[in-house]
Structure 1
Amino acid sequence: MKEQNWKIRPITPHDDMRMAYIIRTVMPEFGAGGDGFAINDPEVDWMSRAYNAPRCAYFVVELEGQVLGGGGVAPLEGASNPRICELRKMYFLPALRGQGAGMALIETCLAKARELGFELCYLETLTGMDSAIALYQKAGFRSIDKPMGDTGHGGCDRYFVKSL
């Protein structure tokens, strides 16, 4: 693992265009384009505003002063319990991968979720995002058979939860 020279911080409006670029660059890399994927969520263009809502937080990861990734938490849409959150829109450009920033970002997001009163964290992804799936499992997420809530991301086919 490389020496840590990245930093995690809350998103600002200045980061919105960069995060939109990152999400729209990374998702097609894994075949996640078109309907049913987060790439088409309207909030992709204004992440700082979307995650400024109650019980939401989004963080970016900078490497040498440049934002190369991000991820956040928000209440799970359509959840049966208001204490369930979703780990959302966690994407890294290749230059940031493999440096420990993914685990650090997950830990940051989960700590914030606990602080916001959540008891369970849900996430969904897709087959083929093998490194991300391995990271989620290493962070203690366990696989479940079907989706929870109503995320609108019908293109995802892998679902995970973690007790907080």
Structure 2
Amino acid sequence: MHEPKIRPIQKEDNPEVAAMIRSVLMELNVPKTGTVFEDTALDGMFETYSTPRAAYFVLEENDVLIGGAGISQLDNYEGNVCELQKMYYLPRARGRGIGAKMIEKCLQRAKQFGYEACYLETMPYMKAAQKLYARNGFEYLDGPMGDTGHFSCPVHMLKKL
């Protein structure tokens, strides 16, 4: 068994990334409206993150994608803030400290891109994810920043870079 590796997404990863994210969303009973489930970007993640100041990384283990996360400019927000986006892991990737490594990789890239802060949205029942974010310096906000279209994700957090 090889150590999982974090690498930039490639075009040929698109179908596997979309399937992995949808599988996690269904497992976690994420609402189908007002969440990532509706994002047209899911089927073209490579193209979505091939824009300036955006990056998406996948977690690969034994030639299988078991997770991913990315950063991009926060939608509909005037300011130098990125959003940590589409961070999902299959069950076998969880609880192994990989999430912290992925956050670190994303935040390093955000700093290289010159962002001043990183924002995220999540679901109230995703307690393990919230603990991971808090351990990595994200703090709770009273409300949303920008407008991501994810009105069903009521937990908002921010980390200054």
The equivalent position to 1:22 in structure 2, one of 14, 20, 23, is 20
Are the counterparts in 2 of residues 58 and 72 from structure 1 also a CA contact under 8 Å? yes
CA separation in 1, counterparts of 2:104 and 2:2? Answer: 15
In structure 2, the gaps of 5 or more residues are none
CA separation in 2, counterparts of 1:36 and 1:19? Answer: 20
* Alpha-carbon offset, residue 31 of structure 1: 2.2
Partner of 2:129: 132
Partner of 1:111: 108
The equivalent position to 1:160 in structure 2, one of 145, 157, 161, is 157
Partner of 1:87: 84
* Alpha-carbon offset, residue 33 of structure 1: 2.8
CA separation in 2, counterparts of 1:127 and 1:22? Answer: 21
The equivalent position to 1:121 in structure 2, one of 118, 123, 138, is 118
Are the counterparts in 2 of residues 30 and 128 from structure 1 also a CA contact under 8 Å? no
Partner of 1:146: 143
User: Deviation digits for residues 97-133 of structure 1, max 9, x if unmatched?
Assistant: 1111100000000000000010000000001111111
Question: What one-letter code is carried by the residue in structure 1 that aligns with 2:106?
Answer: C
* Alpha-carbon offset, residue 63 of structure 1: 1.3
The equivalent position to 1:32 in structure 2, one of 30, 37, 41, is 30
Question: What one-letter code is carried by the residue in structure 2 that aligns with 1:18?
Answer: E
CA separation in 2, counterparts of 1:33 and 1:19? Answer: 19
CA separation in 1, counterparts of 2:21 and 2:46? Answer: 14
After TM superposition, the score normalised by the length of structure 1 is: 0.95
CA separation in 2, counterparts of 1:158 and 1:75? Answer: 19
CA separation in 1, counterparts of 2:104 and 2:119? Answer: 14
CA RMSD of aligned residues (A): 1.2
Partner of 1:59: 57
Which residues in structure 2 correspond to 1:37-56 (within 5 Å)? 37-56=35-54
In structure 1, the gaps of 5 or more residues are none
Aligned residues: 161
Are the counterparts in 1 of residues 2 and 61 from structure 2 also a CA contact under 8 Å? no
CA separation in 1, counterparts of 2:2 and 2:99? Answer: 12
